[in-house]
Amino acid sequence: MSLRLGKITTIVVSSPSAAKQVLKEHDHIFSNRTLLEAVQALDHHNNSVIWLPANSKWRRLRKLCAMEIFSTQRVDLGQALRGRKVQELLHYVGQFCDPGRPVEIGRVAFTASLNLLSNTIFSMDLAHYDSENSQEFKDLIWNIMEVAGKPNVADFFPGLRWVDPQGLKRKMTIYARKLMDILEGVVMERLRLGDQKNDILDALLEPTKAEGSDLSVNDIVHILVVKESIAFHLIFIA
């Protein structure tokens, strides 16, 4: 069955035989994602392991992510860090018990999650419980997810892309630029100081230092954008 969504022809795989052809026999052809207009902001689609086609660059980025971010060893190494961040959260909440003051659980839980993630990657806190940084970061991630998930008429009528009728690509450019500036600032500071933290950032940057490497610092920043967005998407829906 096929549907005509604007100018886009969409095939509905509705039988076992068709599913076999799409998912098994011709999976390489159908493995690429449809590029949404909003995710093309700041050329993200050409640097992201999520949106790249299945080419050599995608395979290298995928291997790097599998080995240095999503490996069982990396998860095991973070066990002590997770325990420490939970204790910090409990200590902060405990300060409100004796005076009987209310605690904004959503905010402090997000701050704890943000610092756990940032310490796993950067070996540093990005926010403090008594600051507004965590709320600003939360709003930024939420805005990115909201814009990326909103139906865009320009995706169904490509001729309207230059108009950006809903302003979604413009908004995504603004939000993504803010997030990338934060992450790029941390990355460049690490390179400037030359510190070795033996964390995920060090592991991701190592291939970029090899002579003849086609991986750049910009690629690493885009990987971090994906990781931050996915991680906090899971936190939001939980």
Bridge partners for 9 per DSSP: 4
Listed residue (118, 124, 116) closest to 81, CA to CA: 116
Query: Which residue, chain included where needed, has tokens 């390179």?
Result: 191
Mean pLDDT of the chain: 86
pLDDT value at position 231?
A: 63
36-237: CATH, from 3.40.228.10, 1.20.120.420, 1.10.630.10, 3.40.50.2020: 1.10.630.10
Exposed, middle or buried, 92 (CB in 10 Å: 0-12/13-18/19+)?
Answer: middle
Residue 35 CB coordination number (10 Å): 13
CA atoms of 167 and 14, how far apart (whole Å):
35
Segments making up each domain of the chain, as ranges: 1-31, 36-237
CA atoms of 178 and 5, how far apart (whole Å):
33
CA atoms of 53 and 32, how far apart (whole Å):
5
Q: Say what percent of the chain tops pLDDT 90.
A: 21
Listed residue (154, 146, 224, 156) closest to 190, CA to CA: 224
Q: Each residue of 123-168: pLDDT tens digit?
A: 988 888 887 777 888 888 889 989 988 999 999 998 999 999 999 9
pLDDT value at position 165?
A: 94
Residue 232 predicted with pLDDT over 70: no
Rounded to two decimals, what is the model's pTM? 0.81
CA atoms of 183 and 178, how far apart (whole Å):
9
pLDDT value at position 235?
A: 54
Residue 238 predicted with pLDDT over 60: no
Residue 236 predicted with pLDDT over 60: no
Q: Say what percent of the chain tops pLDDT 70.
A: 95
Of residues 40 and 27, more confidence is placed in 40
Residue 237 predicted with pLDDT over 80: no
Buried b (16+ CB within 10 A) or exposed e, 167-186: ebbebbbebbeebbebbbeb
pLDDT value at position 230?
A: 64
Q: Each residue of 175-206: pLDDT tens digit?
A: 999 999 999 999 999 988 887 888 889 988 98
Q: Each residue of 73-95: pLDDT tens digit?
A: 888 888 899 999 999 999 999 98
Q: Tokens in use for 158? A: 């490509």
pLDDT value at position 168?
A: 95
CA atoms of 194 and 197, how far apart (whole Å):
10
Residue 229 predicted with pLDDT over 80: no
Q: Please name the residues in contact with 114: beta carbons below 8 A apart, sequence gap of 6 or more.
A: 126, 127, 134, 137, 138, 232
pLDDT value at position 135?
A: 80
